[in-house]
Amino acid sequence: MPGILKSLLKNKAFLLMVLPGAAWFIIFAYLPMFGTIIAFKDFRIHPGGFFKSVYESDWVGFKNFEFLFSTDDAYIITRNTILYNVGLIALGLVLAVTLAVVMNELLNKRLAKMYQTAMFMPYFLSWVIISYFVFSFLNVEKGVFNQILAYFGADPVSWYNETKYWPYFLILLGLWKSAGYGSVVYLAAIAGIDKSLYEAAMIDGASKWQQIKSITLPQLKPLMIILTVLNLGGIFRSDFGLFYQVTRDSGALYPVTNVIDTFVYRGLTIMGDMGMSTAAGLYQSFVGLILVLTANWAVRKIEKDYAVF
């Protein structure tokens, strides 16, 4: 006990620094977590407020989770969710880092700034709007793609019914939309690298490529690892709009576009059951937690400083 007290006292400057943030987390994040109990209850409203309602509702164990696993689609949606996320996380990382590094090296700085501003634009467009543009490319009758095909004498393709193209479309669009946003962090990190490191390397006669390889990338490594670990936490969640709106909710594409979030949305529209939607969210979080804990544990083993916690 005195040991802890002493330690707290010794760290009081730091503790004061984290205090406001920690208080926020407790009030706005931890306090409401109480609500996840609903996932295990058959929620009913009782006069007397929310807490009374939760208290009075019956326990139902894991019944609210069953619908996630009860169809033949359970395997497909899990597979789709994981594969898309793995693809988006990995390729997104490569793309963001590449863009940041290359843009940093462009000789014309004004051009680089313009590019960077441009790449940020898709972030502002909602998936609904993007789905309009995708549709203008892919619609059967007047779509750009089919007109090109027609020009070469090929048969029109019914894009919204052909599953085989969509994994590529979705990954490409996902990358396209987030590239600008993702690369900002790395650009900032590069800007934060001490220039004297490069100066020293140049005195040793290192080429630009060697500098990138031996200075820039290693300096970015902690950030890459940490962001990847964080992303793993969201592996069971998907960008709903990408999979629902961009595909125009086309039934024929479900085998390659159905992910956990879209499945839950479609399943619960008729009933809007709070217990079941909370259960779905809890399931997604829980798997994310396991993955992050595992990944973090592994990172810790290899390089302690790169761990998230």
Partner 1 sequence: MKSRKMMLTLAAMMLASTTALAGCGGNNEGGNANAPKNETNNTGGSAAGEANAGGEDEAKLDPAKLKVYMIGGPQRDLPQVQDEMNKYLTEKINATVDITMIDWGDYSKRMQVITTSGENFDIAFTSSWAFDYLPNATRGAFMPINDLLDKYGQGIKENLDPRFLSGSQIDGKNYAVPVNKELASQWVWRFNKQYVDKYKIDVTKIRTLEDMEPYLKQIKESEPADITPLAVPKGFKPYVPFDFLLGDEFPVGINLSDKEGKYVNILESAELKSSLATIRKYYQAGYLRKDVATLDGIDNIKTGKWFADREQTQPYADLGWSRSAGYDIVSNPMQDPVIFTGSATGAMHAISANSKNPERAMMFLNLLNTDPYLRNLINYGIEGTHYKKLSDNVIEDLPAMKDGFQMPGFALGNLFLTYLHKEDPADKWDAFKKFNDSAIVAPSFGFNFNPDPVKTEVASISAIVKEFYPSIMTGSVDPDEYLPKAIEKLKAAGLDKVIAEAQKQYDAWKAANGK
Partner 2 sequence: MADLRESIPQGAAAMPSRRRKRDIGGISPLWNAVFSAAIGLFALSCVFPFLFIIIISLTDEKALAIDGFSIIPSKFSLEAYRFLMQSGQQMLQSFGVTVLVTVIGTILTLYLVSTYAYAISRKNFAQRRFFSFLAFFTMLFSGGLVPGYIVMTQFLHLRDTLWALILPSILNAFYIIVMRTFFATTVPDAIIESAKIDGASEFGIYTRIVLPISLPGIATIGLFSTLGFWNDWFNALLYIDSPNLIPLQTLLIRIQNNMDFVVTNSSKVVSYDIAATLPTETVRMAMVVLATLPIALAYPFFQKYFIQGLTIGSVKE
What is the binding site for partner 1 (CB under 8 A)? 42-53, 63, 66-67, 70-73, 139-141, 158, 160-161, 248-252, 254, 258, 263, 266-274, 276
Query: Is 249 within 8 Å of 226 (Cβ atoms)?
Result: no
CB atoms within 10 A of CB 271: 9
Q: Pick one of partner 2, partner 1, none as the site partner of residue 114 (Cβ within 5 to 8 A by kind).
A: partner 2
Shortest distance, CB of residue 205 to partner 1, whole angstroms? 59
Please say which residue, 86 or 102, places its beta carbon nearer to partner 2: 102
Q: Based on the shown chain and the rule CB under 8 A, indicate whether residue 86 belongs to the binding site for partner 2.
A: no
Please say which residue, 75 or 176, places its beta carbon nearer to partner 2. 176
CB 283 within 8 A of CB 299: no
Interface with partner 2 includes 168 (CB under 8 A)?
Answer: no
Q: Which does 36 bind (CB under 5 to 8 A by kind): partner 1, partner 2, none?
A: partner 2
Q: Which of partner 2, partner 1, none does residue 260 bind (CB under 5 to 8 Å by kind)?
A: none
Q: Applying CB under 8 A, does 150 fall inside the site for partner 2?
A: no
State yes or no: residue 117 binds partner 2 (CB under 8 A): yes
Compute CA distances 269 → 136, 187, 277, whole Å. Answer: 28, 42, 10
Q: What is the DSSP string of 73-107?
A: HHHHHHHHHHHHHHHHHHHHHHHHHHHHHHHHH-S
Q: Which two tokens stand for residue 252?
A: 């024929």
Residue 239 or 261 with smaller CB distance to partner 1: 261
148 binds, among partner 2, partner 1, none (CB under 5 to 8 A by kind): none
Q: Which is nearer to partner 1, 141 or 305 (CB)?
A: 141
Which segments of the chain does DSSP mark as H helices, in order? Answer: 2-10, 12-24, 50-56, 73-105, 109-124, 127-138, 144-151, 166-191, 195-203, 208-211, 217-232, 240-244, 254-257, 260-268, 274-302
Give the one entry of partner 2, partner 1, none that residue 71 binds, where binding means its C-beta sits below a cut-off of 5 to 8 angstroms depending on kind. Answer: partner 1
**Residue 219, interface with partner 2 (CB under 8 A)?**
yes
What whole-number distance in Å separates Cα of residue 2 and Cα of residue 207? 56
Q: Of 238 and 256, which CB lies nearer to partner 2 in the complex structure?
A: 238
Helix (H, G, I), strand (E, B) or coil at 173: helix
Copy the structure tokens of residue 293. Answer: 């804990």
